[in-house]
Amino acid sequence: MSLSSKPSSSGSAPKSPGSKQRSSGSGRRTTWRDTLKALPWLAPALVLIVGVVFFPAGLMLFNSTRDLAISGLDKGSVGFDNYATVFGFSQFWPIIGRTVIWVVAVVGLTVVISLGLAQVLNKAFPGRQLVRLAVIIPWAASVVMTTMVFYYGLEPYFGVVNKFFVDLGLIDNPAGYGWTKNPTTAFLWSIVIAIFVSLPFTTYTLLAGLATIPRETIEAARMDAAGPVRTYFAVILPQLRGALSVAVLINIINVFNSLPILKVMTGSIPGYGADTIMTMIFKYIELQRKVDVASALSVIAFAIVIIIVIVYVRVVKPLKEV
Amino acid sequence: MSASLDRNTQDTAPGTQDTAPGTQAPPRRTKRYTEDKVPLGTVIGRMIVGLVVLAVFILPYLIMVFGSVKTKSQIRSVDPTYFPQEWHWENFASMWSTPETPLAQNMISTVIISVCATLLVLVVALPAAYYTARFRFPGRMVFMFLVIVTQMLQPAVLTSGLFRQFSILGLGDTWAAMILVNAAFNLSFATWIMHSFFAGIPKEIDEAARLDGASQLAVLFRINLPLVWPGIVTAIVFTFVACWNEFAASLVILSTAGNQPISVALTKFVGQYETSWQYVFGVSIVGILPVVLLFMLIEKRLVGGLTTGSVK
Amino acid sequence: MRRTRTLGAIAATAALTLTVSGCGFGGSDSGDESGKTTLDFLVPTYSDVTKGLWEDVIEGFEAENEDISVNLEVQSWDNLEKVVSTKIQAGEAPDIYNGGPFAGFASDDLLYKAEDVTSPETFQDFDEGFLDNETLEGTAYAVPLIASTRALFVNNELLDEAGVKEAPKDWDELLDASKKVSELGDGVAGYGMPLGSEEAQAEAAIWLWGAGGTFGDEKEITIDTPENLEGAKQIKKMIDEGATQDDPGSSQRTPLLDIFVQGKIGMQVGLPPTVGQIKDSNPDLDYSVVPIPTKDGSPMTLGVGDQLMAFQNDGDKAEAITKFFDYFYTAENYLPWVEAEGFLPVTKSGSEELADNEDLKPFLDLMPDAQFYPSTNSKWSATDGAFKSTFGELESKPADEVLGSIQDQVDEG
């Protein structure tokens, strides 16, 4: 959807004469009466959203301006002090920077790998059904459990991944290397896992996209004696744009909000050398018991993701304008 | 090359072929198998690549399977082996009667919560998706944006508000509360994807039907629904998987052990100084299987479903 | 046209209602029979027997007190505090809670006084030393549940192999012995040093207090002191001279102890349940349990007590809670519980009965030298959190910087 390109998106201004009006089926102008007619159809969804989500979201906003005791008791308003605490934290900007790296690296690499994976799974070969099913498993499994398995495999002493590296002679220490004990390697492995669990959804979206590319388009390109690489970039990739842009949008939101992977992988590491906004929210709640400050950071995070999404939607226009 | 297959490609979803609903086009995949005259070497090459992909995606879960058949002390052995030396399959029997958590009840809870929440999402999202795709009215985009905003909130901070809200409503510690929570937070994706599917169906079909005197509801259910079926399947899968693995809200809202879903039950095996990893892994596998089975059953429809929703 | 749309909405709404009511309300079992007092009881998982043990206690209690029913909720330690603070914020605190620090709750006036929820007999049976730890400004707000002291677990075989004759008593000997064991190679580490977030404050206490330092008292938290600095510098010395395992700054206690149990670590500080763990998973381990080495060899150990506390909720449940505590703390109910979990008892009668228990003896003997966290200080939670998130940085940062940073976090919080 494109938020900006439609007058109706503002929601505040009813149609003014002369405002751009896209034709709908009947070609007539829409008015608030139409909104009223729409209401019965939207009401169940609105009731559910308003009923369930508004109170906790409102409480988050409210808590971000309160002083909450460790016990959870409300000790009154502190204005914007909690926000000041968040911004005053010496690690705030490195954490923001790491969050950006996290989102860009995970989403970017996921897309690149998925494009390749989708090509593979789109080709006919015996056993493809099985491979497709395997690709789906990380989607079905909970992210926490997938991460736990990686963590377990990467631990020194206990993990088979470490054993594997030791057996190959890549690591000298028979106990293995502390992948999950050092900020940089733990963060890199977290990116690997995040990509791993994002692949199924992205790949399947692209696979579906590939299935809709007209066969004759590709054949026409071949007739023009274009090589496979050229065919791919000139013909196939542009056709995947729609599928890709939706997948990227959903991935951005999910990866930005993802907590379990980093929590498990970097949880034992002292300091803030592997933290993103989400693990910082977690640390404010769990270690420092500052639900108020955590709420403030959550509000900031929420604002950031909304801005990202708005910018993305404006630039990429992932959905057809309806 | 048959005509129907060619048409399949244009600007259309599988569902928008003007054939009557119900007469599905023959599966594309079968066609590719037979039509592609690829050299044997290429096929073998593809199989090798496929094998690598298979290995990468299965290996982590093999660690899980192997872990689940070890004993508590084997699993924490500082001298790990690639394969278990003894296969304690009985772990899969004993996990149902551990003192830590009533797993059978947890399973039932998970199924009930996930199925009901998914149904609720469908019932709520379907009319909204249909109407927003078919009719224009002021505030429509506001509505669509409001819907996707729910997806952007960080659950960790919302749980305390959710708990308080459902306590006030007298729904603390009930499945109903979790069904509502799951439905509300998964509404967004379902609405968006179904919206784009409906949008992919030519309006003329609706208008023709209305001219024939069909009611708006009949148009939705009899004409549109069969056409957007792949989109609905996609929405079902997404919602179901998300509900199946939901943890943060269930943890605080459901306090009775028997009401809790598997995701929460798993944590009960984590003690202060020792953890029953064999059960953590075993229960995870038991938790994954139903979802994989679901995938298996609808994989074809899923691919079709994703196509339309995203490309349109 | 309008009519049909409205109809559609009605149909949808009806379907929604049906779905919710059809699937939904079966889950609740909060059928409160009138006249019955219900106690909500929230506990953490100590081990895989915890839930069963509490269920036995509750069953026996409910049989004796038919007008009271107890709702047990078990959570892992990871999730316990999140769950309890959520409940408190919503005004739904559990009636009885088994947890760590109570001072925050007490200073917010949420707790019953211990004497109001126990009979005099039960109250007087608590060991005074433990009861002191539940006391804020002269009033006890919680009752002790279990206790532990820490001791050094020594792998005799590895020390022999490394040519160390006797278990170390002071820091110099410990450093020397650990280095020798580390030099054995093959993935063997001399001293197991867990400074990761799991329980960084415990390993910190063992070293910082070993130089005569403290974390402060009820009034003041003092981390950045010369004595504590000496302890922290000794930790760095251990790390820098290769006496510990790799990555001590981010090593978690539990997995590290697993490695000790399997004979790959020379020495590590453990606690009573460690004995049971060794019995379970590696009974052949040749080990001994000795006092923790300190700077000059003077005796010191870290004592930790967990407690039960009773929240004041709507309706007066003090009487029912008193009945429950009195029932639980009788020797016949309490001792099996403590023994099964492998901790030290906190009642006088219990200590007498378990005095001959061989597994517990080394730990009971250390009791007189035990020092405790300043958990009655309302800033202790912040201190605890600061240790967990920061102390492991000792591995790479100067000691005074780390202690200063923890002190700053405490003073700010």
- Residue range B249-272, pLDDT digits in tens: 999 999 999 999 999 998 888 887
Give the model's confidence band at B36: pLDDT under 50 very low, under 70 low, under 90 confident, else very high.
low
Contact between B78 and C259 under an 8 Å Cβ cutoff? The reply is yes
Please tell me the distance in Å from C198's CA to the nearest CA on chain A. 7
With a CB cutoff of 8 Å and minimum separation 6, the contacts of B209 are B218, B219, B222, B223
Q: Which residues of C49-76 are buried (b: 16+ CB within 10 A; e: fewer)?
A: bbbebbeebbeebeeeeeebbbbbbbbb
Contact between A263 and A282 under an 8 Å Cβ cutoff? The reply is yes
- Asked if the Cβ–Cβ distance from B171 to C51 is below 8 Å, we say no
**What was the pLDDT predicted at A5?**
34
**What was the pLDDT predicted at B312?**
35
- Asked if the Cβ–Cβ distance from A149 to B140 is below 8 Å, we say no
- Asked if the Cβ–Cβ distance from C393 to A270 is below 8 Å, we say yes
Instruction: Tell me whether C10 touches chain A (CB under 8 Å).
Output: yes
Res. B16: pLDDT tops 60: no
In angstroms, the CA B144 to CA A122 distance is 33
Q: Scanning every residue of chain C, which has its alpha carbon at the shortest distance from the alpha carbon of A284?
A: C385
Mean pLDDT, rounded, for B235-260: 89
CB-CB neighbors (< 8 A) of A172 in chain C: none
Give the model's confidence band at A28: pLDDT under 50 very low, under 70 low, under 90 confident, else very high.
low
| Phi, psi (degrees; rounded to nearest 5) at B10 | -40, -115
**What was the pLDDT predicted at B140?**
86
Residue-wise pLDDT for A181-218, tens only, equals 999 999 999 999 999 999 998 888 788 778 767 777 77
**Given C19, C26, C254, which is nearest B123 (Cβ)?**
C19
Higher pLDDT pick, C281 / B113: B113
- Asked if the Cβ–Cβ distance from C258 to A291 is below 8 Å, we say no
Res. A169: pLDDT tops 90: no
CB-CB neighbors (< 8 A) of B216 in chain C: 1, 4-5, 8
Please tell me the distance in Å from B85's CA to the nearest CA on chain A. 14
Res. C359: pLDDT tops 60: yes
Res. C242: pLDDT tops 60: yes
Please provide the DSSP assignment of C118-178 as one string.
S-HHHHHHB-HHHHHTTEETTEE-SEEEEEEE-EEEEEHHHHHHTT--S---BHHHHHHHH
Mean pLDDT, rounded, for C89-101: 89
Q: Which of A245-249, B230-234, C154-158 has the lowest mean pLDDT?
A: B230-234
Residue-wise pLDDT for A127-147, tens only, equals 888 898 899 899 888 888 899
Instruction: Tell me whether B132 touches chain A (CB under 8 Å).
Output: yes
Three-state SS annotation for chain B: CCHHHHHCCCCCCHHHCCCCCCCCCCCHHHHHHHHCCCCHHHHHHHHHHHHHHHHHHHHHHHHHHHHHCCCHHHHCCCCCCCCCCCCCCCHHHHHHHCCCCCHHHHHHHHHHHHHHHHHHHHHHHHHHHHHHHHCCCCCHHHHHHHHHHHHHCCHHHHHHHHHHHHHHCCCCCCHHHHHHHHHHHHHHHHHHHHHHHHHCCCHHHHHHHHHCCCCHHHHHHHHHHHHCHHHHHHHHHHHHHHHHCCCHHHHHHCCCHHHCCHHHHHHHHECCCCECHHHHHHHHHHHHHHHHHHHHHHHHHHHHHHHHHHHC
In angstroms, the CA A169 to CA A163 distance is 10
Mean pLDDT, rounded, for B66-84: 86
In angstroms, the CA C372 to CA A259 distance is 34
Give the model's confidence band at A288: pLDDT under 50 very low, under 70 low, under 90 confident, else very high.
confident
Res. C206: pLDDT tops 90: yes
Mean pLDDT, rounded, for A142-158: 89
Q: Scanning every residue of chain C, which has its alpha carbon at the shortest distance from the alpha carbon of A73?
A: C89
Mean pLDDT, rounded, for A22-40: 70
Torsion, Cα of C293, C296, C298, C302 (10° steps): -50
**What was the pLDDT predicted at C186?**
86
Please tell me the distance in Å from B162's CA to the nearest CA on chain A. 5
Res. A162: pLDDT tops 80: yes
Mean pLDDT, rounded, for C325-347: 93
Chains that touch B (3 or more CB pairs under 8 A): A, C
CB-CB neighbors (< 8 A) of A269 in chain C: 196-197, 249-250, 392
With a CB cutoff of 8 Å and minimum separation 6, the contacts of C177 are C159, C162, C164, C167, C168, C190, C266, C267
Res. B6: pLDDT tops 70: no
Q: What percent of chain A has pLDDT over 90?
A: 37
**What was the pLDDT predicted at B258?**
92
Res. A66: pLDDT tops 70: yes
CA B210 to chain centre: 34
- Asked if the Cβ–Cβ distance from C258 to B76 is below 8 Å, we say yes
**What was the pLDDT predicted at A197?**
94
Q: Which of A162-171, B123-132, B298-307, C231-240 has the lowest mean pLDDT?
A: B298-307
Mean pLDDT of chain C: 88
Mean pLDDT, rounded, for A276-297: 89
**Given B76, B79, B175, which is nearest C26 (Cβ)?**
B175
Q: Scanning every residue of chain B, which has its alpha carbon at the shortest distance from the alpha carbon of A72?
A: B160
Res. C207: pLDDT tops 70: yes
Q: Which helix (H) or strand (E) holds A218?
A: helix A215-223
- Asked if the Cβ–Cβ distance from B76 to C255 is below 8 Å, we say yes
Instruction: Tell me whether B47 touches chain C (CB under 8 Å).
Output: no
**What was the pLDDT predicted at B301?**
66
**What was the pLDDT predicted at A103?**
96
**Given C187, C197, C390, which is nearest A175 (Cβ)?**
C187
CB-CB neighbors (< 8 A) of A174 in chain C: 186-187
Residue-wise pLDDT for C51-67, tens only, equals 999 999 999 999 999 99
Res. C281: pLDDT tops 90: no
- Asked if the Cβ–Cβ distance from B9 to A212 is below 8 Å, we say yes
Q: Scanning every residue of chain A, which has its alpha carbon at the shortest distance from the alpha carbon of B297?
A: A133
**What was the pLDDT predicted at A72?**
72
Instruction: Tell me whether A173 touches chain C (CB under 8 Å).
Output: yes
Res. A67: pLDDT tops 70: yes
CB-CB neighbors (< 8 A) of B310 in chain A: 205, 208-209, 242-243, 246-247
Give the model's confidence band at B228: pLDDT under 50 very low, under 70 low, under 90 confident, else very high.
confident
Mean pLDDT, rounded, for C287-294: 96
**What was the pLDDT predicted at A24?**
42
**What was the pLDDT predicted at C100?**
78
Res. A11: pLDDT tops 90: no
Please tell me the distance in Å from A308's CA to the nearest CA on chain C. 30
**What was the pLDDT predicted at C95?**
96
Mean pLDDT, rounded, for C169-195: 95
**What was the pLDDT predicted at C184?**
93
Res. C22: pLDDT tops 50: no
In angstroms, the CA A208 to CA A213 distance is 9
Structure tokens at B177: 């509360």
Any idea which residue has 């895989």 for tokens?
C48
Mean pLDDT, rounded, for A104-125: 93
In angstroms, the CA B211 to CA B206 distance is 9
Q: Scanning every residue of chain C, which has its alpha carbon at the shortest distance from the alpha carbon of A285?
A: C82
CB-CB neighbors (< 8 A) of B179 in chain C: 19-20, 23-24
Q: What percent of chain B has pLDDT over 90?
A: 35
Instruction: Tell me whether C246 touches chain A (CB under 8 Å).
Output: yes
Res. C30: pLDDT tops 50: no
Mean pLDDT, rounded, for A280-300: 89
In angstroms, the CA C158 to CA C261 distance is 12
**What was the pLDDT predicted at A245?**
80
- Asked if the Cβ–Cβ distance from B196 to A319 is below 8 Å, we say yes
Chains that touch C (3 or more CB pairs under 8 A): A, B
Interface of A with C in 206-265 (CB under 8 A): none
Q: Which of A27-31, C148-152, C360-364 has the lowest mean pLDDT?
A: A27-31
Give the model's confidence band at A98: pLDDT under 50 very low, under 70 low, under 90 confident, else very high.
very high
Instruction: Tell me whether A271 touches chain C (CB under 8 Å).
Output: yes
In angstroms, the CA C408 to CA C397 distance is 16
Please tell me the distance in Å from C296's CA to the nearest CA on chain A. 29
Structure tokens at C103: 């001072």
Q: Which of A143-157, A172-186, A204-218, A269-283 has the lowest mean pLDDT?
A: A204-218
Residue-wise pLDDT for A224-249, tens only, equals 777 788 888 888 888 787 778 878 88
In angstroms, the CA A184 to CA B1 distance is 54
Res. B23: pLDDT tops 50: no
**What was the pLDDT predicted at C14?**
46
